[in-house]
Chain A
Amino acid sequence: MVTASWYLILAAGLFTIGAVGLLVRRNPLIMFMCVELMLNAVNLTFITFGRELGDIGGQVSVFFVLVVAAAEVVVGLAIVVAINRRRPQATADDLSVLRG
C-alpha cells in the first residue's frame, strides 16, 4: 500500500533533481524549467500533508503556488526575451551585470 511517505520521498527526489539541474545548467530557459520542477515537488508535499492531516488548506496553498508560478514564469520569460534582444544566445554565465 502507498503511504504518505512514498509521496514525500518522490517529492524530495523531484526537488533534488530540480535543484541540481538549476545549479548545473547554463541555459536560462532550462533553469526556469528546473524551478518549475522544484515548485511541483513542493506542491506534491502540500497535497500529501493536506490529505494526511485531513486539512483542505494544503490544496488551497497549492492553488496559490500555481498562481505565483504563473506570474513568475511570465516575468522571468519577459526578462529572458529582453536580455536576448540585447545579447543573443547569452547563458547564465554571461549575465553577470544587471544592466544587461
Chain B
Amino acid sequence: METAVFIVCAAIVLAGALGVVLARNPVHAALSLVGTLFGMAVLFLNLEAHFLAAVQIIVYAGAIVVLFLFVIMLLGVDRLEDLSVEPITGQRVLAAIVGLGTFGLAVAFLVTSDIGLPGQEALTGPITDQYQYSNLRQIADVLFTKYVYAFEATAALLTISVVGAVVMSRRIARADQAQEAPESQEAAGDD
C-alpha cells in the first residue's frame, strides 16, 4: 500500500514540477505548483509526518500559491511567454548539464553511502520517543524547549518580512516622481 501511494504521489509531484518549468502561462505554472505541493503533503503522510502534511496544505497550497496567483492577477502578467527562443546562447544546454550533474552527484552519494539503499529494509512505523507521544506532541516537545530561541527568531523574521513588504510596495512620493519624469516616458503604460 505504501508503495502504491509513493508511486502515484511521485508521479504527481514530478508532473507538477515539470508543469511549473514548462508552462508558458504563469497561472498554469501556479496550478501545477499546487499539484506538486499536494503530492508532497501526501508523501509527508506516507512518512508519518502528520503535522507537516497539514501545514504543507495550509501554508503552501493555501497561502503561498494564493499569494502567487494574487500577484499574477494584480500585475496582469498572465500573458504567454515564448519559450521557443533561447535568450542567451547555450544557456539551456549548460542548465541541463548543471541539472544532470546535480542529480548524478546526489544519486552517486546515495549509491556509495550506506543509508537506505534499494533492497535494504523498508521504513517502518513512525518516529517514537520514550513517552510514546504522537507526532504533533513530539514536535512541540522539542520546538518549545530545545529550539525555542530559533522559534522566537522566526517570529522576528516574519515581522520583519511583513514590514519590508509594506515598505517596498508603498507608492513613491510625488517629489520623487517629478525627478524621474524622463525615465517614465520610455516605460510605456507605467502606472
- Bound CA–CA A27/B28 (angstroms): 13
Beyond the given A10-B10, A69-B64, A85-B191, please list 20 additional residue pairs across the A-B interface where CB-CB is below 8 A.
A1-B2, A1-B3, A2-B122, A3-B118, A8-B106, A16-B102, A16-B106, A23-B91, A29-B29, A30-B26, A30-B29, A36-B33, A36-B60, A51-B127, A52-B115, A56-B141, A66-B55, A67-B158, A84-B77, A89-B77
Output the least CB separation between B191 and chain A (Å). 7
A-B pairs with CB below 8 Å: how many? 250
Output the least CB separation between A43 and chain B (Å). 7
Interface residues of B in 35-76 (CB under 8 A from A): 36-37, 40, 43-44, 46-49, 51-52, 55-56, 59-60, 63-64, 67-68, 71-72, 74-75
Known: A12-B106, A19-B102, A33-B29. A74 touches B162 (CB 8 A): yes
User: Which residue of A20, A36, A52 is within 8 Å of B95 (Cβ)?
Assistant: A20
Known: A7-B43, A29-B71. A24 touches B95 (CB 8 A): yes
- Bound CA–CA A16/B92 (angstroms): 13
Known: A60-B139, A71-B161, A85-B191. A27 touches B37 (CB 8 A): no
A and B contact pairs by CB, cutoff 8 A, 25 listed = A2-B46, A2-B122, A4-B123, A5-B116, A7-B43, A8-B110, A10-B43, A14-B13, A16-B102, A17-B20, A20-B99, A21-B20, A21-B21, A25-B21, A33-B30, A37-B33, A47-B44, A51-B126, A52-B115, A56-B127, A57-B142, A59-B139, A75-B164, A78-B164, A78-B169
- Bound CA–CA A25/B88 (angstroms): 11
- Bound CA–CA A84/B26 (angstroms): 15
Chain B residues whose CB sits within 8 angstroms of the CB of A66 once the complex forms: 52, 55-56, 59-60
A60 touches B81 (CB 8 A): no
- Bound CA–CA A79/B170 (angstroms): 11
- Bound CA–CA A8/B77 (angstroms): 35
Contact with B along A54-68 (1 / 0, CB 8 A): 111101101110111
A8 touches B96 (CB 8 A): no
- Bound CA–CA A10/B51 (angstroms): 21
Chain B residues whose CB sits within 8 angstroms of the CB of A12 once the complex forms: 102-103, 106-107, 110
User: Which residue of A17, A25, A62, A84 is within 8 Å of B14 (Cβ)?
Assistant: A17
A37 touches B36 (CB 8 A): yes
- With an 8 Å Cβ cutoff, the count of chain B residues facing the other chain is 93
B positions within 8 Å CB-CB of A: 2-3, 6, 10, 13-14, 17-18, 20-21, 23, 26, 29-30, 33, 36-37, 40, 43-44, 46-49, 51-52, 55-56, 59-60, 63-64, 67-68, 71-72, 74-75, 77, 79, 81, 87-88, 91-92, 94-96, 98-100, 102-103, 106-107, 110, 115-123, 126-129, 135, 138-139, 141-143, 147, 150, 154, 157-158, 160-162, 164-166, 168-169, 171, 187, 189-191
